[in-house]
């Protein structure tokens, strides 16, 4: 079990003799957790992790719906710490976010969390202090329903994906502040340029490259961090360590996938097996069978599989295609199945940059390695477009930074939260604060579709899960329509490595206010070229389809580049709550807001 400290290895072996690298399981209503430091070695270089009870991942906590749980957390570190119960509905004082819901747990102190468990399903917990989540403070929560579980399985495993860096996370952040693409090793090359020439023309290839250069953006900017600095883990185990879960042929196996990574979107598949998705973010959904799904930090998916052969590879490749986590489902220890090659990295499309304005190019392959770049396009048209875009004044280009919003000036800086709506507003409204140094891009015609699997998964020959496939089985919790709308834009400047809501980083922003008991429609516009997994604490986010129909209940919603997402929230939780991107470095760099329900 490569990558685990001796204490961690012993705990893992005690917990489950049929799998390697699994966390110990703690059951009941009383729990004692101790946060301290433990030695680890994932790469051949000894490092120190921050762990809970000496385990990485932390122990899996098994609760029961309706019980009241008491968790005593002892801090053995030299700095303050905390535990946030991700996706759990509870009083705000128990939410575990320093500076928002409590002061944190000082060194040497013990904090007691106590709350009633009001839900069932697959969730997780992690530190909300500094970079401790990235250094090991995360674990699974499994909540058994009070009644019989409608999801029937013969066997189940937690599959917790995460990432690790040997570099101090604060040094990683400093490097990105110095150069936003510091860890991007998929930059366009001369080989890519001559491939474009061969498939299009010299004029089109020059125009394409010039367009991106003029905009000071990279079409390969899919992730902040790559395998250059990250090791991808499955249940705390490296690909070489090969986490293994055993089964008997013909069994129905439930896999509880949790993305506990600090920085990585994973694309998950098990070659040779269909994945029947039965739960999303802890909530049961109408079963849908797919070959693959993407999920970001904070999200969870439960899937059912029925393996028949001796071994299958559980393959989770990073969105930027620089590395992967992997494990094995097998009939006996030591068996392995072939590990797929990484898919080629693809370029972002015009739709990823400009939304509906570039929608005609949404499904094209823009520069997958070894494949035709922009295949299927009218290349003559693109040559003209590329040439024109490369030389044009982007300050007047629709959807780009500094454009002239004729007729919209009166909306700049308006109080979006005060706008009532019988249905979701379709007019794009930019706040005045979005026109500053923290924002390098605007999208005025965002995409609203939910059936896009995202860059790198489009037209890959596999059936890929999308948000439009998810349908919560029991409908919305609240039948009321929205009483008003809150519209916010996800903004950033990659060169400065600044991330924000409406161009304002946390610390400079004011809280978003919800009135207790009201039904609010939240509209998020992504004005960046990266996907953001957005997590609202304390309340459910009920995702809407583009036509306004209820789609699915979530606690973390991924918002793709140039996409508009809307969801309904019932403000039934008094207190102060956090709302942020769950990419840790984005949150730390400013994409974080406080929400006050009063």
Q: What is the mean pLDDT of residues 527-552?
A: 96
**pLDDT given at position 199:** 62
Ranges 18-32, 197-211, 446-460, 541-555: which has the least confidence: 197-211
**Cα dihedral sign for 357, 532, 452, 271?**
positive
Three-state secondary structure call for residue 315: strand
Nearest to 258 by CA among 149, 130, 121: 121
What are the Cα distances from residue 375, in Å, to 188, 198, 200, 389, 479?
17, 12, 9, 20, 46
How many CB atoms are closer than 10 A to CB 463? 16
CA 536-142-537 angle, 5° bins = 10
pLDDT band at 352 (very low <50, low <70, confident <90, very high): confident
CB-based burial label for 270 (10 Å; 0-12, 13-18, 19+): buried
Q: Would you call the peptide bond into 57 cis, given omega within 30 degrees of 0 as the criterion? A: yes
DSSP codes of every residue in 396-464: GSTTBTT---TTTGGGTT--GGGB--SS---S----GGGSSTT--B--SS-B--S----TTTTTSSS-B
**Rounded to whole angstroms, how far apart are CA atoms 66 and 69?**
9
> Is pLDDT above 50 for 575?
yes
Report pLDDT digits (tens) over 370-424: 333 333 333 333 333 333 333 333 333 333 333 333 333 333 333 333 333 335 5
User: What residues have CB less than 8 Å from 498, skipping those under 6 apart?
Assistant: 437, 438, 492, 505, 589, 590
Average pLDDT score over the chain: 84
Q: Using CA atoms, how far apart are residues 524 and 317, in angstroms rounded to an integer?
A: 27
What is the mean predicted confidence (pLDDT) over 45-73? 97
Which range of 150-159, 200-209, 214-223 scores highest in mean pLDDT? It is: 150-159
User: Could you tell me if 273 and 312 are in contact, meaning their C-beta atoms sit under 8 angstroms apart?
Assistant: yes
Tell me which of 490 and 4 has the higher pLDDT.
Answer: 490
Look at residue 449 in the predicted model and tell me its pLDDT. Answer: 94
Name all domains of the chain by residue range, CATH numbers in brackets. 6-149 (2.60.40.420), 153-186+222-345 (2.60.40.420), 411-597 (2.60.40.420)
The per-residue pLDDT for range 451-463, each reduced to its tens digit, is 999 999 999 999 9
Check: CB of residue 229 under 8 Å from CB of residue 537. no
**pLDDT at site 107:** 98
Q: What's residue 218's pLDDT?
A: 62
8 A C-beta contact, residue 362 and residue 447: yes
Residue with tokens 């269909």: 274
**pLDDT score recorded for residue 298:** 98
β-partners of residue 280 are: 283, 301
Q: Is the pLDDT of residue 367 over 60?
A: no
Looking at per-residue confidence, does 310 or 398 come out higher?
310
The model's pTM is: 0.84
**Tell me, what's the pLDDT at 231?**
97
Residue 546: burial class (beta carbons within 10 Å; 0-12, 13-18, 19+) = middle
In the predicted structure, residue 546 carries a pLDDT above the cut 90:
yes
Q: What pLDDT digit, counting tens, does each position of 231-255 carry? A: 999 999 999 999 999 999 999 999 9
The stretch 151-159 carries a mean pLDDT of 97
Query: How far, in Å, are 351, 361, 399 from residue 348 at the CA level?
Result: 8, 10, 16
Q: What φ, ψ does residue 311 adopt, rounded to 5°?
A: -155, 145
Of 40-44, 136-140, 222-226, 408-412, the range with the lowest mean pLDDT is 408-412
Q: What span, in angstroms and rounded, lies between the C-alpha atoms of 502 and 498?
A: 12
Tokens for 64? 């029961």
In the block, which residue shows the tokens 């999801």? Answer: 151
pLDDT of residue 381: 34
How far is residue 239's CA from residue 229's CA, in Å, rounded to a whole number? 15
Structure tokens at 514: 């919800």
Residue 202 pLDDT level (bands cut at 50, 70, 90): low
47-52 sheet: strands from edge to edge: 47-52, 30-40, 68-75, 110-116
pLDDT at 103 over 60: yes
For 20-31, write each residue's pLDDT tens digit.
467 999 999 999
Q: Residue 552: what pLDDT? A: 98
- Predicted local distance difference test score (pLDDT) of residue 429: 79
């Amino acid at each position: 079990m490569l990558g685990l400290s001796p204490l961690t290895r012993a705990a893992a072996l005690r917990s489950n003799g049929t799998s390697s690298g699994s966390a110990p399981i703690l059951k009941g209503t009383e729990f004692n957790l101790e946060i301290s430091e433990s030695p680890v070695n994932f790469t051949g270089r000894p490092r120190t992790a921050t762990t809970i009870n000496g385990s990485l991942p932390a122990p899996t906590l098994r609760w029961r719906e309706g019980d009241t749980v008491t968790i005593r957390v002892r801090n053995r570190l030299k700095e303050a710490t905390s535990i946030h119960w991700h996706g759990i509905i509870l009083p705000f004082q128990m939410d575990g976010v320093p500076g928002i819901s409590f002061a944190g747990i000082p060194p040497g102190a013990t904090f007691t969390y106590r709350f009633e468990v009001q839900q069932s399903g697959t969730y997780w917990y992690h530190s909300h202090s500094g970079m401790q989540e990235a250094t090991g403070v995360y674990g699974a929560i499994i909540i058994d329903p009070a009644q019989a579980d409608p999801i029937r399985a013969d066997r189940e495993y937690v599959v917790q994906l995460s990432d690790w860096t040997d570099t101090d996370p604060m040094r990683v952040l400093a490097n990105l502040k110095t150069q936003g693409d510091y860890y991007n090793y998929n930059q366009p090359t001369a080989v890519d340029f001559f491939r474009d020439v061969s498939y299009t023309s010299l004029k089109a290839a020059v125009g394409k490259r010039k367009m991106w250069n003029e905009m000071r953006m990279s079409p390969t900017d899919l992730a902040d961090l790559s395998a250059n600095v990250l090791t991808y883990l499955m249940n705390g185990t490296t690909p070489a360590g090969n986490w293994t879960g055993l089964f008997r042929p013909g069994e129905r196996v439930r896999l509880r996938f949790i993305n506990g990574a600090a920085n990585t979107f994973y694309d998950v598949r098990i070659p040779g097996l269909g994945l029947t998705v039965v739960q999303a973010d802890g909530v049961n959904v109408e079963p849908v069978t797919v070959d693959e799904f993407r999920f970001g930090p904070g999200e969870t998916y439960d899937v059912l599989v029925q393996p028949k052969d001796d071994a299958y590879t559980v393959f989770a490749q990073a969105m930027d295609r620089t590395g992967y986590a992997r494990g094995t489902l097998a009939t006996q220890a030591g068996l392995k199945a072939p590990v797929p090659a990484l898919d080629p990295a693809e370029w972002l499309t015009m739709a990823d940059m400009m939304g509906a304005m570039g929608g005609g190019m949404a499904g094209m392959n823009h520069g997958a390695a070894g494949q035709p770049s922009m295949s299927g396009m009218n290349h003559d048209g693109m040559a003209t477009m590329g040439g024109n875009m490369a030389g044009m004044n982007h300050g007047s280009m629709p959807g780009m930074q500094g454009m002239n919003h004729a007729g919209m000036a009166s909306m700049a800086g308006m109080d979006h939260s005060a706008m009532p709506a019988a249905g979701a507003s379709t007019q794009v409204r930019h706040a005045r604060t979005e026109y500053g140094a923290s924002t390098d891009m605007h999208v005025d015609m965002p995409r609203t579709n939910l059936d896009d699997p995202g860059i790198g998964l489009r037209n890959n020959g596999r059936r890929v899960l999308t948000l439009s496939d998810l349908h919560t089985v029991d409908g919305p919790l609240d039948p009321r329509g929205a009483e008003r709308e809150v519209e916010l834009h996800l903004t950033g400047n990659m060169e400065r490595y600044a991330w924000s809501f409406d161009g304002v980083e946390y610390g400079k922003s004011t809280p978003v206010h919800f009135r207790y008991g009201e039904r609010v429609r939240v509209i998020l516009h992504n004005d960046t070229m990266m996907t953001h997994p957005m997590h609202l604490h304390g309340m459910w986010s009920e995702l809407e389809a583009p036509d306004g129909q209820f789609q699915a209940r979530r606690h973390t919603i991924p918002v793709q580049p140039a996409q508009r997402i809307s969801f309904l929230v019932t403000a039934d939780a008094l207190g102060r709550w956090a709302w942020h991107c769950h990419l840790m470095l984005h949150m730390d760099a400013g994409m974080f807001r406080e929400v006050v329900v009063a």
